[in-house]
Amino acid sequence: MISIITPTYNSSKFIYRLHDSLAKQSDKDFEWIVVDDYSNDETIKILTKLTPPGLGGMRVYKMPFNSGGGIAASVGVIKSIGNITTIIDQDDELDSNAIFNIKNYFINTFKKKEVAVVLFPSVQPNSGKQISSLYPGELFKISYFVYKEKESVDGVMAMKGDLARYYYTLPDCARTLLSSVIWLRISKKYFFEYAGGDPVLIYHRDNNKSHSNRIRVSSHLIFSFARILDYHDKYYYLQPIKWLRYTLALYHFSISYYGSPIPIFKLISRWSTKVWCSLLLPFGIIAHFLKPKYEIIKYKNMDPNVCAEISKEVRNETYKIT
């Protein structure tokens, strides 16, 4: 069975689209777990009235405060029971054969101990843009994919369930905003595999409050940027201009949020990263005054394990396969 995890936040305008696409799946062998990140609109009310789209049922949890999404995703993964787990954003939709195609592909993936995650292609409806740098069946590390794919392209990361529950730990996700941090950690030990074929997901860009469409500076964003920079390898060195801009953005975020660039050095551990950041420190301070100001968000800090324990289960409806 596949576990589909969806963190939500004020998603009343988009959640019907995702639910409709799940209800139209040709293969119903999946559960849908929704973790609401303390919405202040009608999201919870809508979720409690929806029909469970898969045979595995539907569960809805509500966070006790807005966490920024990291803990919400972790709670959903920990609550999952599927042997395949994937996180689908609240404002996207799946192709009607997505579950069928993912399950079929994993028949062989389960035999490959070196592979933890399979990347399935998605498509942006307006631009038609898809992954173009990988060939079907190719094994890769995340940094290699970022190097090869010159433009940002989304996809569906389907992961072996037991490994997902191991890596999506609450402490690791409590400070993380970008899923790339988790993928890079997994990539240190395992390979990713590209499935190729037709897109399984339609990647919409019409939610102007999503992280991909709107930059909001928080300690979670700064931590994520610092960790991604700290995971550098040979593919980073092949894109010096990209990582120069990335580092300057990190300094801009830190000065905007903390009033100082120094906290960055507490978030990185490798000496090579510290040398790189030290060399760019004067330029980072100058760049800060030239860059636009972004909205500052201060998420409430709370012990993640306690947070998971008091996440309210507002709905638990399970179907049984007959």
Domains of the chain with CATH codes: 2-211+303-317 (3.90.550.10), 219-296 (no CATH)
Q: Across residues 226-254, what is the average pLDDT?
A: 90
The pLDDT score that the predictor gives to residue 152 is 59
259-314 pLDDT per residue, tens: 999 999 999 999 999 999 999 999 999 999 999 989 998 887 666 666 666 667 88
- Say what the pLDDT of residue 161 is: 97
Q: What is the pLDDT of residues 161-209, one digit of tens each?
A: 999 999 998 777 878 877 889 999 999 999 999 999 999 998 886 555 5
* Candidate from 53-62, 101-110, 223-232, 291-300 with smallest mean pLDDT: 291-300
The token duo for 274 is 């510290």
163's CB contacts (< 8 A; 6+ apart) are 116, 186, 190
CA pair distance 289, 246, nearest whole angstrom: 16
pLDDT score at 151: 62
pLDDT band at 321 (very low <50, low <70, confident <90, very high): very low
Q: Which residue has the tokens 């192709």?
A: 95
Distance CA 39, CA 36 (A): 6
Share of the chain above pLDDT 70, in %: 91
237-262 average pLDDT score: 93
The answer to whether the beta carbons of residues 119 and 86 sit under 8 Å apart is: no
Q: Which of 185, 148, 178 is nearest to 163 (CA)?
A: 185
| Residue 292 near residue 278, CB atoms below 8 Å | no
Mean pLDDT, the chain, integer: 88
Query: Quick one: CA torsion of 172, 176, 178, 179, rounded to 10 degrees?
Result: 20
- Among candidate residues 302, 303, 301, 318, the one with its CA nearest the CA of residue 79: 318
pTM score, whole prediction: 0.90
Could you say which DSSP state residue 226 is in?
A: H
The answer to whether residue 153 scores a pLDDT higher than 70 is no
Judge whether 51 and 21 are in contact, CB under 8 Å.
no
Q: Summarize pLDDT for 208-236 with one digit per residue, the tens.
A: 555 455 688 999 899 999 999 998 888 88
pLDDT above 90 as % of the chain: 62
Mean pLDDT of 139-163: 85
- Number of neighbours of residue 75 by Cβ within 10 angstroms: 26
Residue 4 has pLDDT above 90, yes or no: yes
User: What is the band of 322 on the pLDDT scale with cuts at 50, 70, 90?
Assistant: very low
